[in-house]
Amino acid sequence: EVQLVESGGGLVQPGGSLRLSCAASGFTFSDHWMHWVRQVPGKGLLWVSRIHRDGSNTASADSVRGRFTISRDNAQNTLYLEMKNLRVEDTAVYFCAREGVRARERFFDLWGRGTLVTVSS
């Protein structure tokens, strides 16, 4: 089955760290750019970060740059998001998402179900 499954969310104190994982299956993971998108419960979608197929190129939203690091392990078919110096406003459901496989197909054609990160004292 083609799917993405996130894990690693939970409750963390402000200033703390967390690492999210996204396990891919059913498709050739290394063929796709990958992304993290977050959503405060009941609110809209916010793009967080993206990574090239081979991990050589990354980009992040201003709100997380310098605190969050996206990476991937193509041998393990896994995407990661290392989050440091977490803030209350980082509380959200974090989704991983797959880009289309063809050049310029930067829309997100597959999403995981998300993992909830709660930053609170």
Question: 15 or 89, CB closer to another protein?
Answer: 89
Inter-residue long-range contacts of 69-76, CB under 8 Å, 24+ positions, other chains counted: 70/34, 70/36, 72/29, 72/34, 74/29, 74/30
Positions in the binding site for another protein (CB under 8 A): 35, 37, 44-47, 50, 59-62, 95, 100, 104-109, 111-114
For residue 37, the minimal CB distance to another protein (Å) is: 8
Question: 23 or 45, CB closer to another protein?
Answer: 45
Main-chain phi, psi angles of 40, to 5 degrees: -65, 130
For residue 13, the minimal CB distance to another protein (Å) is: 27
Question: 80 or 114, CB closer to another protein?
Answer: 114
List Cα–Cα distances, 99 to 8, 18, 42, 67, 73, in angstroms. 22, 24, 25, 23, 17
For residue 8, the minimal CB distance to another protein (Å) is: 16
